[in-house]
Amino acid sequence: MQGPSSALSSLPLPEISRAAAYRLRWQRRALLWRSFRARHQLTQVVARTENLRPDAILAVTVLRNEATRLPYFLSFYRALGVDHFLMVDNGSDDESGTFLAAQRDVSLWRTSAHYRDARFGLDWATWLQICHSHGRWCLSVDTDELLVFGGDAIHGLRGLTKLLEQQRQPGFGAVMLDLFPQGRLNSTGYTAGEDPRIALPWFDPGPYRATRQLPRGNLWVQGGLRERVFFCDDPQRSPTLNKLPLIKWNRRFAYTNSTHAILPRRLNGLYDGPGGNAPSGVLLHTKFLPEVVEKSSIEKQRQQHFGDPAAFAGYYDELAEAPDLWHSGALRYEGPEQLEALGLARAPNWSTR
């Protein structure tokens, strides 16, 4: 069984100079100021945050045209232990906004401002975290990401966050794992509300590689499906797969690059990657549902992709052709314990509770 690259191991946070640390402090302040200004771009549709408990676990999501995914997304995270959802609808023209406004555990904001100009939604999300997440555990995920970890069915997020607090760990990292079907992307059926893992049962167990980036000390994990299929000629351009999705939030925190990196930089040391020693999970990435074929053509035109949009034109063109992503080295997903056995995650030590 092929697992992650043997090069993956615990990667400690590197030291930096005082000057570099000083510059990062000012960068964090600048990001928080951007978020403060971005509040004017948000229009409140419905807010149900007035009675949130101090220990409420929140989820923050920025989305556009995700009516198909939202029923299962909310159901999955409710079962995992999310108490309330803070959601920004970035100009959806499907039923996303109507559906979300009717959910009793959702507070919804809307904006038509450019996703890219708002640091790919981070400015909006950070403002909501400043207002509502301070002192609470906050899960930052996209609608195509499902967080799994060893023991999740028994302990959920409530048990995980209590254990992390006992261990004085203010965050929990995860690697993003692409799920895909066998056959062409538009040959698989999917109905809103279904578990997307049924339609997308396969994943690449490896190889993956990781380094730490200076000055922030954040991980850079690459490899897997999208590198194998779309970026094999230029692996350095393949997507970043590490994330820090779960943080005990403080209004002075700021993500800098999606949820791949965060400031203060010490928080990046909470995740040492696949093969590391820190407790970690996996974000199952369900991007490759049949709708991705049509959406790829739309996203190519919108040019809101992270990084250089022109550099991803070929990627979107290939997806629009509905390729078959399956190969003989793929494994069928069985659960978080399987991912731990492959070295992609490390279950929390529940015996210490």
| Pairing of β 254-257 and β 261-263 | antiparallel
Asked whether residue 32 is assigned to any structural domain, the reply reads yes
- Separation between Cα atoms, residue 64 and residue 95, nearest integer Å: 10
Quote the pLDDT of residue 297. Answer: 65
What backbone phi and psi angles, to 5 degrees, belong to 28? -60, -45
Domain residues for 29? 18-344
The verdict on residue 5 lying in a domain is: no
Residue 317 confidence class, pLDDT cut points 50, 70, 90: confident
Check if the beta carbon of residue 274 is closer than 8 Å to that of residue 221.
Answer: yes
Q: What percent of the chain has pLDDT over 70?
A: 92
**Using 50, 70 and 90 to split pLDDT, how confident is the model at 6?**
very low
> What pLDDT, in 10s, does the model give residues 114-158?
999 999 999 999 999 999 999 999 999 999 999 999 999 999 999
Helices (H), the chain: 18-38, 70-80, 96-101, 122-132, 152-166, 196-199, 224-230, 292-302, 313-320, 336-341
Backbone angles phi, psi at 16, to 5 degrees: -135, 165
CATH assignment of the domain containing 273: 3.90.550
- pLDDT score of 22: 97
**Mean pLDDT calculated for residue range 72-97:** 98
> Does residue 335 form part of some domain?
yes
Classify residue 122: in a domain, yes or no. Answer: yes
One-letter identity of residue 318: E
- Cα(177)–Cα(344) distance, rounded to whole angstroms? 9
Residue 149: predicted pLDDT: 98
On whether residue 350 sits in a domain, the answer given is: no
44 in Cβ contact with 109 (< 8 Å): yes
Whether 6 is in a domain gets the answer: no
Domain assignment present for 61: yes
Predicted confidence band of residue 352 (pLDDT cuts 50, 70, 90): confident
Q: Which of 11, 22, 32 is nearest to 255 (CA)?
A: 32
Task: Tell me the DSSP string of 78-121.
Answer: HHHT--EEEEEEES--SSHHHHHHT-TTEEEEEE-S-TTTTTTT
For CA atoms 270, 276, 279, 284, give the dihedral sign.
positive
Whole-number Å distance between alpha carbons of 343 and 281: 11
Looking at the 3D structure of the chain, how many domains does it have? 1
Task: Please write the tens of the pLDDT for every residue from 293-303.
Answer: 888 766 655 54
Per-residue model confidence as pLDDT tens digits over 241-262: 999 999 999 999 999 999 999 9
pLDDT band at 353 (very low <50, low <70, confident <90, very high): low
Alpha-carbon distance 88 to 39, whole Å?
Answer: 12
Whether 7 shows a pLDDT value over 90: the answer reads: no
**Has residue 330 been placed in a domain?**
yes
Which spans in 206-282 are helix H? 224-230
Residue 52 has pLDDT above 90, yes or no: yes
